[in-house]
Amino acid sequence: MTALGTPRLHLRVTTSTNDRARELAEAGAPHGTLVTAAEQTAGRGRQGRRWSTPAGGTLAMSLILREPPALPPLAAAVAVADAAGPAARIKWPNDVLVDGRKVAGILIEGRPPAGWLVLGIGVNVAVDLTQLPPELAGTAGSLGRDPRDVESFLADLLAALEARLTQPAAEVLEAWRARDALLDRPVTYAPPADGAGIARGVDDDGRLIVETPTGERVALAAGEVHLSPS
Ligand code: BTN
């Protein structure tokens, strides 16, 4: 298997590294191809949101995967948490938090019939949080590293991804569950289903289980989940 991160295309500025990686995937680029950018002008997040990547201190990367891992969103989140350190927690399905603040996000796009996925990861390695849009002031965090450490963080993350993306689902789930930020906490969830309850972990397919006030257990496969205000 090709090592993750080879070949690599690094751009000073681009719209979205996921866009560049998709183009390369469609042109036949191999498994493990990496696109990174120092700055994104139209970074994308989940649920149609924007992802802010100011120049300096952020990691914006997209990897082409042609050998699909078990539970891709969960395996990728565990790898990011491994690289971020022991304090990192995961908010279902794959936001990585430190001290309750989001330090990394993951956007997986792809064309499974064509045999490829693009795994996009954004990490606030050394971000000056005042440079982020004001609406992120209460939720965004940073790993608080030195801006010169983005490359060494990338090396750690690629090593963690090599390990996690080839693990059996049971091992990925065990590691994910050990970092579950929502376990036994009150949450609300939004479309496609709406409701509230207590988060009870993930099932073996990576769905979030929420116990509703009537005792029913709902398994969420998609959508947004938020901690209820305490
Ligand atoms: C999210 O939490 O909403 C997902 C954020 C994913 C951001 C990364 S940055 C690199 C790659 N390029 C993008 O446009 N998005 C992903």
CATH assignment at residue 125: 3.30.930.10
Q: Are residues 112 and 222 in the same domain?
A: no
Residues 202 and 115 in one domain: no
Residue 210 belongs to some domain of the structure: yes
In this structure, are 87 and 198 located in the same domain? no
Domain total in the chain: 2
Mean of the pLDDT values across residues 84-98?
Answer: 97
Same domain, 91 and 152: yes
> Which residue minimizes the CA distance to atom 16 of ligand 1?
120
Expressed as residue numbers, the domain containing 205 is 186-227
Shared-domain flag, residues 152 and 195 = no
Q: Tell me how far CA of residue 102 lies from CA of 35, 132, 137, in angstroms.
A: 22, 13, 11
pLDDT at site 184: 97
- 26 confidence band (pLDDT: 50, 70, 90): very high
Q: Mean pLDDT across the stretch 58-86? A: 96
Q: 39 CB contacts (<8 Å, ≥6 apart)?
A: 12, 13, 14, 53, 54, 55, 60
In a domain, 3, yes or no: no
pLDDT value of residue 230: 59
Q: What is the pLDDT of residue 2?
A: 54
Residue 37 sits in the same domain as residue 101: yes
* Most confident among 18-27, 49-58, 111-120, 191-200 (mean pLDDT): 18-27
> pLDDT digit string (tens) for 177-229?
999 999 999 999 987 678 999 999 999 999 999 999 999 999 998 777 888 76
Based on the domain organization, do 136 and 200 belong to the same domain? no
**What is d(CA 165, CA 20) in angstroms, rounded to the nearest whole number?**
22
155 and 75 housed in the same domain? yes
Read off the pLDDT of each residue in 150-170 and give the average, rounded to a whole number.
97
Lowest mean pLDDT among 16-25, 61-70, 144-153, 189-198: 189-198
Residue 198: give its domain's CATH number: 2.30.30.100
- Which of 121, 139, 153 is the best mutation target for the ligand 1 pocket, counting ligand atoms within 8 Å of the beta carbon and taking the most? 121
Query: Residue 53 phi/psi, 5° resolution?
Result: -130, 80
Amino acid letter, 32: G
pLDDT band of 136, cuts 50, 70, 90: confident
Report the pocket of ligand 1 as residue ranges, CB < 6 Å. 16-18, 40, 43-46, 49, 51, 60-62, 95, 105-107, 120-122
Asked whether residue 123 falls in the same domain as residue 220, the answer is no
Give domain status of residue 143, yes or no. yes
**pTM recorded for the entire structure:** 0.95
pLDDT tier for residue 33 given thresholds of 50, 70 and 90: very high
Q: Are residues 127 and 194 in the same domain?
A: no
Q: Please report whether residue 97 resides in a domain.
A: yes
In the three-class reduction of DSSP (H, G, I as helix; E, B as strand; rest coil), residue 102 is classed as: strand
**Based on the domain organization, do 192 and 172 belong to the same domain?**
no
- CA of residue 212 to ligand 1 center, whole Å: 31
